[in-house]
Structure 1
Amino acid sequence: MTEDEARALITRLLGTPNPISLYRFEFGWLAKEKLTPEQQAQGLGLGHGSFIIDQTGVVTAQSSLSVRMIIRQYTEARREGRITGRQVWPREEPTAEA
């Protein structure tokens, strides 16, 4: 996945006019929305999480830890065959009950 593809996907998913910072790493991209000074003054930065756009196309919501720490934790999990965070894309279709 290219940087442009990652940016387009996360911008569409977040539906925000704010710019998105992308940080490339071994398994994809970490995305973090840049809040305006007004949004920060309103306290919207408190607990403001980030997202991982995995090279497979799976997007997961992450905590508000530092970029470096999230990337480290995610990389360790992927090397063990796991994915951390809550999956937000692709959205799972509800199963039909018989």
Structure 2
Amino acid sequence: MSSEEARQLMARLLGTDNPVTVFQFEFGWAAQETLSPRQRAQGRQLGQGVFIIDQTGVVTAHPSLPPPLIIKRYAAARREGRITGRQIWPVPDPTG
């Protein structure tokens, strides 16, 4: 997956027309919606999460922390063989 494909996937999953910023790292991409000044004035940035698109194709949601910190934590977990965050795509099977 390219950076542009990662952007498009996140825009689709978030249902947004806003730009999505992606940060590539060794296990995939961290992504965050870029809010307009008006949206920020409305407080939409409060609680705005970061998403990880893992190189395996799994997308997980993470807390509202700076993307570099999320990347650092995620990469450390992946080096231990774990994927962290709440999986949002593909949609997990509730019976599995």
Larger radius of gyration: 1
For the residues of structure 1 that align with 2:45 and 2:85, how far apart are their CA atoms? Answer: 19
Give yes or no for the alignment of 1:74 onto 2:77: no
- Structure 2: 5+ residue stretches without partners: none
Q: Distance in 2 between matches of 1:66 and 1:84?
A: 16
TM-score by length of 2: 0.94
Which segments of structure 1 move beyond 4 Å, counting only runs of 4 or more?
none
SS at structure 2 position matched to 1:77? helix
Unaligned runs of 5+ in 1: none
Cα distance in 2 for partners of 1:12, 1:86 equals 18
2:45 is paired with a residue of what secondary structure?
A: coil
TM-score, structure 1 normalization: 0.92
Partner of 1:45: 45
CA distance, structure 1, for counterparts of residue 9 and residue 68 of structure 2: 22
Q: Tell me how many residue pairs correspond in the alignment.
A: 96
| Displacement of 1:75 | 0.2
Q: CA RMSD in A?
A: 1.3
- 1:26 shift after superposition: 0.4
Superposed CA deviations along residues 17-47 of structure 1, whole A, max 9, x for unmatched, are 1000000000000001001111111111111
Q: Deviations over 1:35-80 (max 9, x none)?
A: 1111111111111111000001000001111111100000000000
